[in-house]
């Protein structure tokens, strides 16, 4: 089911954009990266419905860097948060 949803989302992206499909995905990944990678466990609801059109729109908006994208909004919010220095946070004992 997940493969079908992603396949349909990719078809929508193909028809809505003039770019190559892989370029849209690469641009989306580049635009949401904040430079710091951390592993975090997440809970996934198995019965959550994902709409192909919503997935395609999110990838397209993220690739464009549009503020309509949830990922871009989240990235902006993370950039606004203060970052701990070496003297504070986990390093300080």
- The rounded distance, in Å, linking the Cα atoms of 6 and 1 is 9
pTM of the model as a whole: 0.66
Q: Which candidate, 5, 2, 50, 59, places its Cα nearest to that of 32?
A: 59
- Highest mean pLDDT, choosing among 19-28, 69-78, 84-93: 19-28
Residue ranges per structural domain of the chain:
2-34+49-81
Q: What is the band of 6 on the pLDDT scale with cuts at 50, 70, 90?
A: confident
Mean pLDDT value across the chain: 78
pLDDT value, residue 3:
86
> What count of other Cβ atoms lies within 10 Å of the Cβ of residue 56?
22
């Amino acid at each position: 089911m997940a493969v079908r949803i992603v396949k349909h989302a990719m078809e929508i992206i193909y028809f809505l954009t003039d770019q190559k499909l892989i370029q849209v995905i690469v641009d989306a990944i580049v635009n949401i990266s904040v430079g710091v990678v951390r592993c975090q466990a997440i809970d996934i609801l198995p019965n959550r419905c994902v709409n192909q059109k919503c997935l395609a729109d999110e990838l397209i908006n993220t690739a464009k860097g549009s503020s309509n994208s949830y990922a871009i909004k989240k990235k902006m919010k993370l950039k606004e948060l203060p970052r701990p220095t070496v003297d504070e946070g986990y390093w300080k004992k």
